[in-house]
Structure 1
């Protein structure tokens, strides 16, 4: 076999290997890293529904538990439920390569630490590591963040933390806090004012973004404004009208 024939044969072999590798990569399992936080077992049903949906969509799950989750009944209940469903999830192993990080029912404790940049637990470290590697980070909020029976200033603080996570690049999915009696607003109301009296007791960043440039914001004296909304008001130089 002359050198030219050998070279052509090698070229074909290399091309075949590269094609097989490409096919293998295209059909490879997509990994999602999951970090479960807190110790509230009442949120487990919502978490399991989300994880089941991800598996049905073809994702391989790698589930880890924060210290508080590991020390409570939450870890045992979650593992047993997934195994009962014949889940393919791996536990307590972080994959080397993964497409996204998912934090279901993110505990208020972990959410606040992430917002404040404190990296002293598994969830916080996983989030900042994923963001540094430009991975998708998705979180659903704990039901406490939607509890209308909690004091409004506390709920405003939770909403502020959620907005901070979004500013980092974390996608917040699922329901968010909606004050009691709040009307659904799809467009600015007549007279270019947001509904406030007896309807809206908390102004969030989303409300401010509904305002047209130069449009005044009318609020009652007892209306709360989240930190992110205040920043947006200042940035856009909007006028507040009280009463």
Structure 2
């Protein structure tokens, strides 16, 4: 295991391991190494190349996982999981809850691809 001052390089981080690390799961070798390295203040570089042919909602979730790893202090290399959408001056909704549905006055609520819709909001 790397020590302080070393670098842990993950040259082919899978979507599965990316998700597990972002969610705090430590049930495979890559995720265990990452959390040990984080605990020892070891620099971590991860290369992740998502399959661009996957559905946009899947790529958006991978992008959020990549951002979580960056917040952990992990340097992410490779292509981003989803292209950055241009942001208008209005607020961008990334999740829709049952409260949002109840407050919405129209019959139809339009959301962007990749928006998380909670189970309770789907039923409404």
TM-score bin (small chain): 0.5 to 0.7
2 CA distance for matches of 1:120 and 1:138? 20
The 1:107/1:120 distance shift into structure 2, 3 A limit, reads same
* Map of 2:58 onto structure 1: 154
Aligned to 2:89: 216
Q: Does 1:139 align with 2:46?
A: yes
> Superposed, which structure 2 residues align to 1:1-243 within 5 Å?
94=1, 99-144=6-51, 147=52, 149-179=53-83, 203=85, 216-217=89-90, 221=110, 223-224=112-113
- Seen in structure 2, the aligned counterparts of structure 1 residues 167 and 226 have a Cα distance that, compared at 3 Å, is farther
TM-score when scaled to structure 2?
0.66
**For the residues of structure 1 that align with 2:115 and 2:41, how far apart are their CA atoms?**
28
Partners of 2:72 and 2:2 lie apart in 1 by 23
5+ long unaligned stretches in structure 1: 1-93, 180-201, 209-214, 228-243
> Closer, same or farther in 2 for the Cα pair 1:139/1:161, shift >3 Å?
same
Aligned-pair RMSD on alpha carbons?
2.7
SS, match of residue 12 in structure 2: strand
**Preserved contact between residue 56 and residue 82 of structure 2 (Cα < 8 Å):** no
Q: With structure 1 as the length reference, what TM-score do the two structures score?
A: 0.36
Q: Report the structure, 1 or 2, having the larger helix content.
A: 1
Between the aligned partners of 1:159 and 1:120, the Cα distance in structure 2 is 22
Offset of residue 112 of structure 1: 0.6
Query: Which structure has the higher relative contact order (CA within 8 Å, separation 6+)?
Result: 2
Structure having the larger proportion of residues in strand: 1
2-structure distance, mates of 1:124, 1:161? 13
CA distance in 1, matches of 2:80, 2:2: 30
Task: Identify if the C-alpha distance between structure 1 residues 169 and 218 changes in structure 2 by more than 3 Å, giving closer, same or farther.
Answer: closer
Q: Output the CA distance in 2 between the equivalents of 1:178 and 1:116.
A: 19
Shift of 1:218: 7.1
Query: Equivalents in 1 of 2:57, 2:10: separation in Å?
Result: 25
How many equivalent residue pairs? 99
The ranges of structure 1 where at least 4 consecutive aligned residues each deviate by more than 3 angstroms after the TM superposition are 94-98, 224-227
